[in-house]
Amino acid sequence: MVVLLGCGVAFAEKNLPLDELVRRADEASPKSQATQYMEIAERQLDAADQLYSSGDTGQAQKAVNDVVTFAGKAANAAKQSDSHLKHTEIHLRQMAEKLRAIKRTLAFDDQKPVQDAADNLESLRNEILSRMFGPPKKRKE
């Protein structure tokens, strides 16, 4: 019964409007914001893929811009809270790969913004990796 309830809640969240998901993420604690913003970014990436497939490049580009915005918010929340770093890094890598795959299906004129978005996600990913494996933090004594 608990499993069914959990699945129902997860299904309901996937059907919420984007602005409601953003509002919830904005109001969440910094520790959970990374996961919530990453889910929004992934949702927008799926939307962008569908929009490019249907030929609506204008709306697709807006969705790609949302991907970069919310992925950036997720990365900042992960770094700020020092939590969900690995999860965030993995999802950033996967989203950058998907953007590069989408780019290869587009007309030449539509490729640059998608490549720029993938590069931006890779930059965020490198920041997370530096945070995870960089020099240890100095403690104040």
The per-residue pLDDT for range 56-112, each reduced to its tens digit, is 999 999 999 999 999 999 999 999 999 899 999 999 999 999 999 999 999 999 999
Integer Cα distance of 81 and 96 in angstroms: 23
Least confident span in 8-22, 30-44, 47-61, 75-89: 8-22
Say which residues have a Cβ less than 8 Å from residue 51's Cβ, sequence separation at least 6.
57, 59, 60, 63
Q: Is 9 exposed, middle or buried (0-12, 13-18, 19+ CB in 10 A)?
A: exposed
Closest CA to 41 of 108, 105, 104, 93: 93
With H, G, I as helix, E, B as strand and everything else as coil, classify residue 55: coil
